[in-house]
């Protein structure tokens, strides 16, 4: 965790024992490698050194990955071209198609797996593609635990520093969630079943979708969300480092409450982005360092309701776009692109967090694809979004991941199954290079307290199926 006492967090292995993850390996093998020159934070790619090793990974299609695992003997069989069934890996579906690349190319093998859910290949970990998943072997993950992985090959370069990041969806700590906190006299109640897992990451980010002040009258009636500022200590205890504030509920109790909320969040030690005292402050990225890698995070609100920040007035960064705030506004989008380009020059990794889309659907509106691609073209390494209250699909553009909605993380909605379901997205980096994206399915309990679902559970598979059905290639 970028600004956390490491003595509080469990080891990664302990944390993984608390929940199973659905895996979608993501890498950058098909795009240019990061520049070898030092970045603004002083990070550099792993130096060439004698004796460096890389994992030899089992690559499968992302829709196949949940719950699958292998032993080194089975990996050797696949490497040698022997037959393997999905049942041997813990799944269903009969015999897998073992593929090899033309002239032994790991890249070609990855592309073959990406195109065929029945295919499997053995490749060096540095060939992993955003559209494939790498399976654990003998209980070790090749991306998160390259040093302890049991099957490796010699390489000019090692994997570099492993950085784990977690991204949560909407966090609403007012209304009935707040009533539950008050009854329990425990601001940490909403994170009592997820905090250890969240705190085990090197960087944890969430969208705080409520104000922390009632300094003015409610602006959205019964849908005005305000929480006790004591929840900030609970968010810190759960491991959150960055809170994005660009959403349609930050302004629920007026401009003075908005100012007080932003100030309180900053004073509690969080990095903040997306809202502020004025437009210049709202546009400032949250810049944080995790294991030597500098992350720049930006956020914007496309839903309205919270006022747009002005030159001298408080509010959120705004992008006008369908379905809520009119046609896609070229000036707003150009300003966001400029923000991405600016932060790109001073960090190693850029992530943009939109608050956008249609509520209560798994399908993104078409403009979400347009905006995400423009932001990637401007320099974003990932686009990770919220607001629809349901999970939505994912896509890859220029090998950068776009997650259109993570769904709810903490909320008091209970009128449908889907509003009580979400995912936490884990992005794993080797240095500044994104290597894996793992979807951790979440269920919100009757007490409005979320918990992680095991990868093999029926509801976890249901949530992931909703994501895949709404996704583009290669996740569809």
How confident is the model over 373-401, as pLDDT tens digits?
Answer: 999 999 999 999 999 999 999 999 999 99
pLDDT of residue 50: 57
Nearest to 225 by CA among 252, 264, 198, 260: 252
pLDDT of residue 128: 85
Q: Which residues contact 167 (CB under 8 A, 6 or more apart)?
A: 205, 206, 351, 353, 384, 403, 406, 424, 425, 426, 427
Spell out the domain ranges in the chain.
53-157, 162-469
Q: Number of H helices and number of E strands within the chain? A: 11, 22
> Rounded CA gap, 325 and 334, in Å?
17
pLDDT of residue 49: 52
| Mean pLDDT value of segment 225-241 | 98
> Rounded CA gap, 171 and 442, in Å?
13
Q: Phi and psi of 282, rounded to 5°? A: -65, -35
> Rounded CA gap, 171 and 361, in Å?
19
What fold, for 53-157? D-Maltodextrin-Binding Protein; domain 2 (3.40.190)
- Say whether 92 sits in a helix, a strand or coil: coil
| Mean pLDDT value of segment 167-192 | 98
The pair of structure tokens assigned to 239 is 């491991």
Nearest-10 crossing angle of helices 330-344, 366-378: 40
Q: How many CB atoms lie within 10 A of CB 51?
A: 7
**What's the whole-number average pLDDT of the chain?**
90
Q: Are strands 22-25 and 433-444 parallel, antiparallel or unpaired?
A: antiparallel
pLDDT band at 231 (very low <50, low <70, confident <90, very high): very high
What fold, for 162-469? Purple Acid Phosphatase; chain A, domain 2 (3.60.21)
pLDDT of residue 444: 98
Are 249 and 257 in contact by the 8 Å Cβ rule? The answer is no
> Rounded CA gap, 61 and 476, in Å?
10
Are 395 and 369 in contact by the 8 Å Cβ rule? The answer is yes
Q: CA-based Rg of the chain, rounded to a whole angstrom? A: 22
* pLDDT tens-digit readout, 81-108: 899 999 999 999 999 999 987 667 898 9
The model's pTM: 0.90
| Mean pLDDT value of segment 467-473 | 93
- Say whether 74 sits in a helix, a strand or coil: helix
pLDDT of residue 455: 83
> Rounded CA gap, 348 and 476, in Å?
30
pLDDT band at 131 (very low <50, low <70, confident <90, very high): confident
* pLDDT over 50 at 40, yes or no: no
* pLDDT over 90 at 47, yes or no: no
Q: Which residues contact 216 (CB under 8 A, 6 or more apart)?
A: 253, 254, 255, 256, 257
Q: What angle do CA 386, 203, 443 make, to 5 degrees?
A: 45
> Rounded CA gap, 216 and 386, in Å?
26
* pLDDT over 80 at 439, yes or no: yes
First CA to last CA distance, the chain: 33
By CB atoms closer than 10 A (0-12, 13-18, 19+), residue 129 is buried
The pair of structure tokens assigned to 47 is 């130096």
Residue 105 CA, distance from chain mean position: 30
| Mean pLDDT value of segment 348-364 | 98
């Amino acid at each position: 965790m970028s600004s956390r006492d490491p003595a509080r967090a469990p080891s990664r292995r302990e944390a993984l024992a608390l929940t199973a993850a659905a895996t979608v390996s993501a890498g950058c093998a098909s795009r240019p490698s990061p520049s070898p020159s030092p970045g603004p934070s002083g990070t550099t790619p792993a130096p060439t050194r004698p004796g460096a090793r890389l994992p030899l990974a089992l690559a499968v299609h992302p829709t196949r990955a949940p719950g699958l695992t292998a032993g080194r003997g089975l990996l050797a069989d696949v490497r040698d071209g022997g037959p393997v069934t999905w049942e041997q890996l813990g799944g269903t579906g009969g015999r897998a198609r073992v593929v090899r690349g033309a002239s032994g190319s790991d890249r070609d093998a990855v592309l073959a797996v990406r195109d065929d859910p029945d295919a499997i290949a053995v490749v060096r970990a540095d060939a992993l593609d955003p559209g494939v998943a790498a399976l654990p072997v003998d209980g070790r993950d090749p991306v998160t635990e390259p040093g302890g992985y049991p099957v490796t090959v010699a390489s000019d370069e090692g994997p570099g520093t492993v950085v784990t990041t977690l991204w949560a969806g909407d966090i609403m700590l007012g209304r009935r969630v707040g009533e539950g906190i008050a009854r329990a006299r425990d601001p940490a109640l909403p994170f009592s079943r997820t905090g250890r897992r969240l705190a085990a990451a090197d960087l944890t980010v969430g969208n705080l979708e409520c104000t922390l002040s009632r300094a003015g009258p409610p602006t959205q009636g019964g849908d005005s969300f305000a929480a006790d500022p004591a929840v900030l200590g609970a968010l810190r205890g759960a491991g959150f480092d960055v809170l994005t504030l660009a959403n349609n509920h930050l302004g629920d109790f007026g401009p003075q409450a908005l100012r007080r909320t932003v100030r309180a969040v900053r004073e509690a030690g969080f990095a903040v982005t997306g809202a502020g005292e004025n437009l210049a402050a709202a546009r400032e990225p949250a810049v944080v360092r995790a294991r030597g890698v500098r992350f720049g995070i930006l956020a914007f609100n496309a839903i309205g309701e919270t006022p747009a920040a002005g030159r001298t007035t408080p509010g959120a960064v705004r992008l006008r776009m369908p379905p809520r705030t009119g046609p896609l506004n070229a000036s707003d989008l150009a300003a966001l692109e400029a923000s991405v380009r600016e932060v790109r020059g001073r960090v190693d990794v850029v992530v943009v967090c939109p608050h956008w889309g249609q509520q209560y659907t798994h399908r993104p509106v078409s403009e979400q694809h347009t905006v995400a691609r423009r932001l990637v073209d401007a320099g974003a390494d990932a686009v990770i979004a919220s607001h629809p209250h349901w999970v939505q699909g994912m896509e890859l553009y220029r090998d950068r991941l776009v997650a259109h909605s993570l769904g709810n993380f903490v909320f008091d909605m209970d009128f449908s199954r889907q509003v009580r379901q979400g995912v936490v997205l884990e992005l794993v980096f080797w240095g500044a290079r994104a290597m894996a994206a793992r979807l951790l399915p979440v269920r919100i309990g009757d007490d409005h307290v979320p918990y992680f679902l095991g990868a093999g559970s029926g509801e976890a598979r249901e949530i992931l199926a909703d994501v895949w059905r709404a996704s583009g290639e290669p996740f569809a």
